[in-house]
Amino acid sequence: MQDQRIEQLKEAIAQLKARFPKHSVPPAMMIELEEMEEELERAQGGVDDDRDRRFVL
């Protein structure tokens, strides 16, 4: 099932990149791309998700 999700993410990333204009990519598209790439990394086991960690000073 994880492999299927990885393939879905790769396909979604490719489709998003294909929609990029030649110049001046809108910030919303860049944010969407970054979020999908981060999710892909997590799905592949390449990065920890730090969003739930709390830092105490």
H/E stretch holding 39:
helix 27-43
Residue given tokens 């969003």 in the structure block:
51
Higher pLDDT, 37 or 55: 37
pLDDT at residue 14 tops 90: yes
Output the CA–CA distances (angstroms, integers) from residue 26 to 1, 5, 19, 30, in the order listed: 33, 26, 11, 7
CA–CA dist 6, 32 (Å, integer):
16
**Which pTM does this prediction carry?**
0.73
Mean pLDDT value of segment 6-11: 96
pLDDT for residue 8:
96
| pLDDT score of 15 | 98
